[in-house]
A and B are shown apart, each in its own frame.
Chain A
Amino acid sequence: MSTTTVAHHDEHHDHPTGIMRWLTTTNHKDIGTMYLTFSLIMFLVGGSMILGIRAELFKPGLQLMNPEFFNQLIGVHALIMIFAALMPAATGFANWMLPLQIGAPDMALPRLNNWGFWILPPSAILLTLPFTLALFGVGDGALATGWTFYPPLSVQGGIGVDFAIFAVHLLGISSVLGSINIIVTIYNMRAPGMTLMKMPMFAWGWLITAFLLIATIPVLAGAVTMLLTDRHFGTHFFDAAGGGDPIMFQHLFWFFGHPEVYILLLPVWGFIPQILQTFSRKPMYGYKAQVYSLWAIGALAVVVWAHHFFTAGMPVPALLYFMYSTMAISLPLAVLFYCWIRTMWKGSMSFETPMLFTVGWIILFGIGGLTGLVLADVAADAQYHNSYFVVAHFHYTLFAGGIMGIMAGVYYWLPKMTGHMYNEKLGKLHFWLTAISFNVTFIPQFFVGLAGMPRRIPDYALQFAEFNMISSIGAFVLGLSQLLFVYNIVSCARGGKKATDQVWEGAQGLEWTLPSPPPYHSFTEQPVVK
């Protein structure tokens, strides 16, 4: 195409329209949109499942469902939220924003990118299909082991386990493809002059995430494959009678599972400082310190896994090692917290919705981090293990630290992506409803956990009734508030006040130099970074 027609490039583009456009697209913005949409849909699906759980736990006794169905909801809720909501949301942002932030025309491997996304919907169907099959009398429903697949239960379970194993395989392939794409894009496609240490923090967060993913997802794939052969092909990887060991599964699983926590959080730690600097109207504090801290956390993430099963039995030196190495993660994390707060310090701050979510995120994620420090203590963990305290803790890290961070990112970039401003009033209402009802849901769970209420049990002792009722009410408000979020996104995509190129007064970075919304093909001529 000659240079004179560049301005009309978009209109004359001969890409297919309708459903074929989305099925065949290799455009990073289209794929990013699909990832984010898929993530939002699965967030609502996973959320509805847990509302079923909270409805059952509203009162002691069994009211709505049998314990098997309860167990299935819990396990599938976790798998959906982790693999089909949080991870695709982060990948969606990476697709949309990384090329814009580093001045690349597109992702490095566009076809792989398309494939990486289109593996996701079938795997989500695989995961939830056993629920439907059970209605027709096929099998006994979905995975009922919790998302951790612990044998021997998972070796004895029904077809739901097989479906979940194949779903995990597909989800894993999708994330590995996405990660390879992101690493190649970051290494090879940066604008001239953008050295690694000049990259936006989001690119750093994702680079480390991607390395963690390609190093640990195959271990999970291996572990669930062993489970599959134990179930159907007579191997004894996890069967003590044949010389195997069920504890080995826990090692394999958490060798993946603990880095997974940071896989979910590192992309968020990447864009949170960018939001902070935008709304504090000053450069982010301690760029280098943050980059090194991210690397330190990434490295520590793969050597601390066994703190997830202290109570499974371990010699004292191993307990001590895993306790101290786990606690050591709080040091680089403290550096990050310091840098985030210091970025706001004496800034000229304003509190638009993304900033509200970010500040709320810092506080709530802080609570998640501190309660994690308590769980890392071997002596205390003996009491807290498998109690609701753990449930409350990881929802502070993964809902507050993960999903509320993602929401901050959505509000931050939505005007850039759609070209329209979202409804600020509704956004703020969504934040306050979310933050308050989240705390109403999970603070009581700390208390009942400390008092000894075990997780993953559909019934409970009478003394936990009040706290569970409060928690259930909070959960329903939290769930319903998300409809505001959906409404706000949809109405923003359809129209609204025109967004400027820079959108936010203090926004810095290459993505804000492009029009809102950016043209279908951006940075075909790479910008030069000084």
Chain B
Amino acid sequence: MKEDQERANKQLVIKLVWIVAGALVFAFALVPLYDVICAVTGLNGKTNSTAELVVPVKVDSTREVTVQFISSVMPGLGWNFFPLENSVKVHPGQVTTVLFEAKNTTSTEVSGQAIPSVTPGKASAHLKKIECFCFVKQTLKPGEVKKLPLRFFISADLPQDVHELTLSYSFFPAAQ
């Protein structure tokens, strides 16, 4: 009787430990899962991190979308960083180039990595970059000023109710 009880207890403990282990695995599985969900739904405004290779041939000139640019520099990176134009009006499918400018205000060579984010989130998958300074990390010599180009287009299947989208870049300090 007592041994039966102990065996039953042991079996249940093993099952419960599996639940605990499963929950721990689930916690770490949420990391890639989170990225996948965000990539599929565009939830946190992430854009393509490598160059878009297919450029559209058709420009939808019946629609016009405003793209705004904002920039920020995270603590620990002694740079000035701003877009040369605050916003542009583009037609979906039209390839546009805009310039940002970064200046290293410190007396050492520093590298930075720009991280983009698009609002509203549902538009983020439709802002396609052909060329971007954010694809690689940027290194500036002391006092150097650099023009940073961005070539992008808005894909034609952008949801009809989006008339304005905001592209934000934050420059983070990066390892040399």
Q: Tell me whether B16 and A180 are in contact (CB under 8 A).
A: yes
- B132 CB–A CB distance under 8 Å: no
Q: CB < 8 Å: which of B8, B20, B121, B173 contacts A315?
A: B121
- A132 CB–B CB distance under 8 Å: no
- B36 CB–A CB distance under 8 Å: no
Q: CB < 8 Å: which of A108, A176, A216, A239 contacts B9?
A: A108
- A432 CB–B CB distance under 8 Å: no
Residues from chain A with a CB closer than 8 A to the CB of B53 are none
Query: Nearest Cβ distance between residue B113 and chain A, in whole angstroms?
Result: 5
Q: Contact mask A200-223 → B, CB, 8 Å, 1/0?
A: 000000000000001111111111
Query: Nearest Cβ distance between residue B75 and chain A, in whole angstroms?
Result: 9
Q: Tell me whether B12 and A215 are in contact (CB under 8 A).
A: no
Query: Nearest Cβ distance between residue A265 and chain B, in whole angstroms?
Result: 21
Q: Tell me whether B170 and A240 are in contact (CB under 8 A).
A: yes
Query: Nearest Cβ distance between residue A215 and chain B, in whole angstroms?
Result: 5
- B5 CB–A CB distance under 8 Å: yes
Q: Tell me whether B26 and A314 are in contact (CB under 8 A).
A: no
Q: Tell me whether B16 and A184 are in contact (CB under 8 A).
A: yes
Query: Nearest Cβ distance between residue B152 and chain A, in whole angstroms?
Result: 20
Binds B, one of A143-151, A245-253, A331-339, A449-457: A245-253
Assembled-state Cα–Cα distance A126/B26 (Å): 27
Interface size band for A: 35 or more
Q: Tell me whether A109 and B9 are in contact (CB under 8 A).
A: yes
Chain B positions within 8 Å of A, measured between CB atoms, are 5, 8-9, 12-13, 16-17, 19-21, 23-24, 26-28, 30-31, 34, 38, 41, 43-44, 74, 113, 115, 119-122, 170, 172-174
Given contacts A183-B16, A315-B122, 14 further A-B pairs with CB under 8 A are A179-B16, A183-B12, A184-B13, A188-B5, A188-B9, A215-B23, A217-B20, A218-B26, A219-B23, A240-B115, A248-B31, A251-B30, A252-B30, A318-B43
Assembled-state Cα–Cα distance A314/B27 (Å): 21
Q: Tell me whether B113 and A226 are in contact (CB under 8 A).
A: no
Q: Tell me whether B115 and A241 are in contact (CB under 8 A).
A: yes
Assembled-state Cα–Cα distance A330/B123 (Å): 35
Assembled-state Cα–Cα distance A187/B16 (Å): 12
- A237 CB–B CB distance under 8 Å: yes
Query: Nearest Cβ distance between residue B30 and chain A, in whole angstroms?
Result: 6
29 example contacts (A-B, Cβ-Cβ < 8 A) are as follows A109-B9, A176-B20, A183-B16, A184-B9, A188-B5, A189-B5, A214-B20, A215-B19, A215-B23, A217-B23, A219-B23, A219-B26, A219-B27, A220-B27, A221-B24, A226-B28, A240-B172, A241-B74, A241-B173, A245-B38, A247-B44, A248-B30, A251-B30, A251-B34, A255-B30, A313-B44, A313-B121, A315-B41, A315-B121
Contacting B at CB under 8 A, from A425-439, are: none
Q: Which residue of B lies closest to A248 (CB)?
A: B34
Given contacts A188-B12, A214-B19, A240-B172, A315 and B27 within 8 Å (CB-CB): no
Assembled-state Cα–Cα distance A189/B12 (Å): 12
Query: Nearest Cβ distance between residue A168 and chain B, in whole angstroms?
Result: 13
Q: Tell me whether B12 and A245 are in contact (CB under 8 A).
A: no
Q: Which residue of B lies closest to A245 (CB)?
A: B44
Query: Nearest Cβ distance between residue A452 and chain B, in whole angstroms?
Result: 25
Residues from chain A with a CB closer than 8 A to the CB of B24 are 218-219, 221-222
Query: Nearest Cβ distance between residue A155 and chain B, in whole angstroms?
Result: 12
Residues from chain B with a CB closer than 8 A to the CB of A240 are 115, 170, 172
Q: Contact mask A247-272 → B, CB, 8 Å, 1/0?
A: 11001100100000000000000000
Residues from chain B with a CB closer than 8 A to the CB of A247 are 44
Q: Which residue of A lies closest to B173 (CB)?
A: A241
Q: Which residue of A lies closest to B26 (CB)?
A: A219
Q: CB < 8 Å: which of B8, B13, B23 contacts A180?
A: B13
Assembled-state Cα–Cα distance A252/B27 (Å): 7
Query: Nearest Cβ distance between residue A450 and chain B, in whole angstroms?
Result: 29
Q: Which residue of A lies closest to B121 (CB)?
A: A315
Q: Tell me whether B28 and A222 are in contact (CB under 8 A).
A: yes
Residues from chain B with a CB closer than 8 A to the CB of A219 are 23-24, 26-27, 30
Residues from chain B with a CB closer than 8 A to the CB of A223 are 27
Residues from chain B with a CB closer than 8 A to the CB of A187 are 12
Assembled-state Cα–Cα distance A189/B4 (Å): 12
Residues from chain A with a CB closer than 8 A to the CB of B121 are 313, 315
Q: Contact mask A144-187 → B, CB, 8 Å, 1/0?
A: 00000000000000000000000000000000100110011001
Residues from chain B with a CB closer than 8 A to the CB of A180 are 13, 16-17, 20
Q: CB < 8 Å: which of A109, A218, A241, A314 contacts B174?
A: A241
Q: Which residue of B lies closest to A246 (CB)?
A: B44
Q: Which residue of A lies closest to B29 (CB)?
A: A222
Assembled-state Cα–Cα distance A198/B12 (Å): 21
Assembled-state Cα–Cα distance A193/B53 (Å): 71
Residues from chain B with a CB closer than 8 A to the CB of A184 are 9, 12-13, 16
Assembled-state Cα–Cα distance A218/B34 (Å): 17
Q: Tell me whether B9 and A218 are in contact (CB under 8 A).
A: no
Given contacts A219-B26, A315-B122, A241 and B172 within 8 Å (CB-CB): yes
Residues from chain A with a CB closer than 8 A to the CB of B173 are 241
Q: CB < 8 Å: which of B8, B31, B34, B74 contacts A188?
A: B8
Q: Which residue of B lies closest to A216 (CB)?
A: B23
Assembled-state Cα–Cα distance A223/B29 (Å): 11
Q: Tell me whether B12 and A222 are in contact (CB under 8 A).
A: no
Residues from chain A with a CB closer than 8 A to the CB of B13 are 109, 180, 184
Residues from chain A with a CB closer than 8 A to the CB of B28 are 222, 226
Given contacts A184-B12, A188-B8, A315-B43, A241 and B30 within 8 Å (CB-CB): no
Assembled-state Cα–Cα distance A298/B17 (Å): 20
Query: Nearest Cβ distance between residue A521 and chain B, in whole angstroms?
Result: 15
Q: Which residue of B lies closest to A210 (CB)?
A: B16
Q: Which residue of A lies closest to B5 (CB)?
A: A188
Assembled-state Cα–Cα distance A219/B19 (Å): 12
Assembled-state Cα–Cα distance A239/B34 (Å): 14
Residues from chain B with a CB closer than 8 A to the CB of A255 are 30
Q: Contact mask A214-238 → B, CB, 8 Å, 1/0?
A: 1111111111001000000000010
Contacting B at CB under 8 A, from A74-128, are: 108-109
Query: Nearest Cβ distance between residue B147 and chain A, in whole angstroms?
Result: 22
Q: Which residue of B lies closest to A211 (CB)?
A: B19
Query: Nearest Cβ distance between residue B79 and chain A, in whole angstroms?
Result: 13
Q: Tell me whether B31 and A226 are in contact (CB under 8 A).
A: yes
Residues from chain B with a CB closer than 8 A to the CB of A318 are 43
Q: Tell me whether B20 and A218 are in contact (CB under 8 A).
A: yes
Residues from chain A with a CB closer than 8 A to the CB of B17 are 180
Query: Nearest Cβ distance between residue A242 and chain B, in whole angstroms?
Result: 8
